[in-house]
Amino acid sequence: MFKVVLTGYMGSGKSTIGALLAQQLGCALVELDFEIEAAAGISIPTLFAEKGELAFRKLEHHSFEQWMQSPDSFVMSTGGGTPCYYNHHEWLQREHVYSVYLKGSVATLAQRLQSQKAQRPLIQNLPEAELEEYIAKHLFDRNYYYLQSRFIVPIDGKTPEEIVMEIRQWL
């Protein structure tokens, strides 16, 4: 049994890398954001808007714990905040858990997120001029959790295929 858990900030490519990696390893892909949307019956932006972030975090917690406690093998793409709540970071170093931090620079993340703000409630309403500063501060807080992943892959300037290859060489 193995669980590959991809962590990283919004825009770091967890979903793209997760899909490629699961395909290559021939195992299931768990997209935590989709699990939460399925459980809530509404999209994440609607969930944030109608029930608030706390309701989202509770569903995220429930779904994450359920998968981590299951006997299943999978590649999981977490949400950007998943390791940062409810002691979830403690799972990152457990036996059979291969946690990988997709580490992007503030500049790379800001550039990618500029065109993807609408689906992400935490940054949806930020003026473009403030995005980079917001990410820099947020990443500073969150790095403590991300850095508890067992393998760290810098992603700047790399293709998804190169990143997947690095992860596979480590596994």
73 labelled binding-site residue = no
DSSP symbol at 70: S
In the bound state with ligand S3P, the residue whose beta carbon lies nearer, of 97 and 109, is 109
Write the CB contacts of 80 (distance below 8 Å, at least 6 apart in sequence). 8, 9, 10, 12, 14, 142
Q: Is 120 annotated as a binding residue?
A: yes
What is the binding site for ligand S3P (CB under 6 A)? Answer: 10, 14, 33, 44, 79-81, 120-122
Residue 26, annotated ligand binder?
no
On whether 112 is known to bind a ligand per the annotation, the reply is no
Q: How far is the CB of 82 from ligand S3P (least distance, A)?
A: 7
3-state SS track over 107-122: HHHHHHHHCCCCCCCC
Q: Which residues pair with 103 in a beta bridge?
A: 154
CB-wise, 9 or 97, nearer to ligand S3P?
Answer: 9
Which pair of tokens denotes residue 144? 């403590």
| Cβ 6 vs Cβ 102: under 8 Å | yes
Structure tokens at 6: 């991809």
Nearer to ligand S3P, 80 or 104 (CB): 80
Q: State the minimum distance, in angstroms, from the CB of residue 112 to ligand S3P.
A: 10
Instruction: State the binding site for ATP.
Output: 11-16, 120
Annotated binding residues for Mg(2+), written as ranges, equal 15
